[in-house]
Amino acid sequence: TDWADYDQLDEEFDEDSEAGGGRPVLAVVGRPNVGKSTLVNRLLGSRQAVVKDTPGVTRDRVSYDAVWSGRAFSVVDTGGWDPDADGMYASVTSQAEMAMSTADAILFVVDANVGVSGTDEAAARVLRRSKRPVIVVANKVDSQGAEAGTAELWSLGLGEPHPVSALHGRGSGDLLDEVLRVLPDTPRERFGGAAGPRRVALVGKPNVGKSSMLNRLVGEQRAVVDEVAGTTVDPVDSLVELDDEVWRFVDTAGLRKRVKTADGTEYYASLRTKAAIEAAEVAIVLIDGSNPLTEQDLRIISMVIEAGRALVIAYNKWDMVDDERRRSLEKEIDRDLVRVRWAERVNVSALTGRAVAKLAPALRGALESWDQRVSTGQINSWLSDIVAAHPPPVRGGKQPKIMFATQAHSRPPTLVLFSSGFLEAGYRRFLERKFREAFGFTGSPVRVVVRVRE
């Protein structure tokens, strides 16, 4: 229920973590059945277990918190393999690319008993381009005698293989030491910082026109941007100059190359979408305006909100929208997009170029809201007015008293309320709406967290 959501959020923010975790991220990649999940469980020290539906298939890319020698980091099991052999090649490269775009270091797991397969070689080719440290893990080395077989893994061109037995724990301490050696103390700058270009994810379900839009935007820019002073560009990103500003479109490698497998793509596409959103500060969710809105469109919008990223909604294929469609579209928006009334919508056409010039100002506005900080003084004078006019509803015979509020974070803006009792979901939504009315925040999700103080 709604309650649980807020309680969980509260816990999340207790750690004072910034969006994105604030810890360096270690990604684990490799073919199915090489023992990635077993290894992740080993690294986590059994405090939290990786859950699998089917052996060899982790349901989703999940992030876990780990601590070793007093240092905290996150472990991401990239899982999500396409079990279909034809799709394997594309999956392995996508997985490696995803790890490169989101992680600070990568564990590349190979089954030492099987040796190097073609798929391993394909992944290694991608990983060799990575600017992140990569550690080759020779797994299933259950005994000293089996270590001899790991020499072959030097051929991957990624340095010394580290023999371990994820199942029995053999070598896992040494591996963790090596992980700490290569992992930076702080996560690499995911949010561009003051200097770098701002990070944009161009997402949407298949065939809405993402590739066409990227091509259009690249075509619109006045100069081809190869480099921006002081920044290193991931091979998976594209720098695009729009409206006199350079933007970093993250994780566009797949779009540019148009990787498409016949099968199992949808699941994989959803992983890529998540990874791109996580790597970005703001997402453009592209929707096919010429067709009815679908569950999948709404799911992608939800992903952006849940990730706490700024949002611009772009209705593409506007050249195909006639009067009748326009009328049904308005109804759809009222019905399905009420939750994101705060997001700016632009009606564009990648085909004709219609209104694509509106994207940059919309991105800028959304990011401004996402970055915005309202002072505690302003918030509390707003709060006392609101609470005086609309006190929180009585629960169990008692009226909760809101003592104080502060914006604990930006990116996304997070309003923390200190109250003498729980505040109902409806009232929290009311406060969020009023908070937005008073201070703006167009284009950014806003979180409302309640701390109950007796």
Binding site for ligand GDP (CB under 6 A): 30, 32-38, 55-56, 58, 139-140, 142, 165-167, 204, 206-212, 255, 316-317, 319-320, 349-351
For helices 425-439 and 376-389, the axis angle rounded to 10 degrees is 130
| Cα–Cα nearest to 214, from 244, 255, 242, 243 | 255
To the question of whether residue 79 is assigned a binding role by annotation, the answer is: yes
Shortest distance, CB of residue 137 to ligand GDP, whole angstroms? 10
To the question of whether residue 36 is assigned a binding role by annotation, the answer is: yes
To the question of whether residue 184 is assigned a binding role by annotation, the answer is: no
Distance CA 108, CA 119 (A): 12
| C-alpha to C-alpha distances, 67 to 44, 46, 103, 139, 376, nearest whole angstrom | 8, 12, 17, 21, 34
Shortest distance, CB of residue 79 to ligand GDP, whole angstroms? 7
Query: CB of 31 within 8 A of CB of 111?
Result: yes
To the question of whether residue 209 is assigned a binding role by annotation, the answer is: yes
Nearer to ligand GDP, 68 or 315 (CB): 315
Distance CA 92, CA 122 (A): 7
Backbone angles phi, psi at 105, to 5 degrees: -155, 155
CA distance between the termini of the chain: 24
Shortest distance, CB of residue 291 to ligand GDP, whole angstroms? 11
Shortest distance, CB of residue 350 to ligand GDP, whole angstroms? 4
To the question of whether residue 77 is assigned a binding role by annotation, the answer is: yes
Nearer to ligand GDP, 246 or 355 (CB): 355
Shortest distance, CB of residue 395 to ligand GDP, whole angstroms? 46
To the question of whether residue 359 is assigned a binding role by annotation, the answer is: no
To the question of whether residue 369 is assigned a binding role by annotation, the answer is: no
Q: For 15-113, where are the alpha helices, taking DSSP H only? A: 36-44, 85-102
To the question of whether residue 196 is assigned a binding role by annotation, the answer is: no
Shortest distance, CB of residue 434 to ligand GDP, whole angstroms? 37
Nearer to ligand GDP, 317 or 345 (CB): 317
| Cα–Cα nearest to 251, from 98, 76, 106, 122 | 98
In the structure encoding, which two tokens stand for residue 245, read together? Answer: 């500003």
Shortest distance, CB of residue 205 to ligand GDP, whole angstroms? 7
Query: CB of 340 within 8 A of CB of 305?
Result: yes
Shortest distance, CB of residue 370 to ligand GDP, whole angstroms? 25
161-163 and 105-111 strand pairing: unpaired
To the question of whether residue 319 is assigned a binding role by annotation, the answer is: yes
Backbone angles phi, psi at 241, to 5 degrees: -95, 120
Beta carbons within 10 angstroms of residue 54's beta carbon: 9
| C-alpha to C-alpha distances, 108 to 71, 161, 173, 420, nearest whole angstrom | 21, 10, 17, 50
To the question of whether residue 207 is assigned a binding role by annotation, the answer is: yes
To the question of whether residue 419 is assigned a binding role by annotation, the answer is: no
Shortest distance, CB of residue 446 to ligand GDP, whole angstroms? 29
Element (H, E) at 9: helix 2-14
CA angle, 311 then 274 then 285, to 5°: 30
List, as residue ranges, the binding site: 30-37, 77-81, 139-142, 204-211, 251-255, 316-319
List, as residue ranges, the binding site for GTP: 30-37, 77-81, 139-142, 204-211, 251-255, 316-319
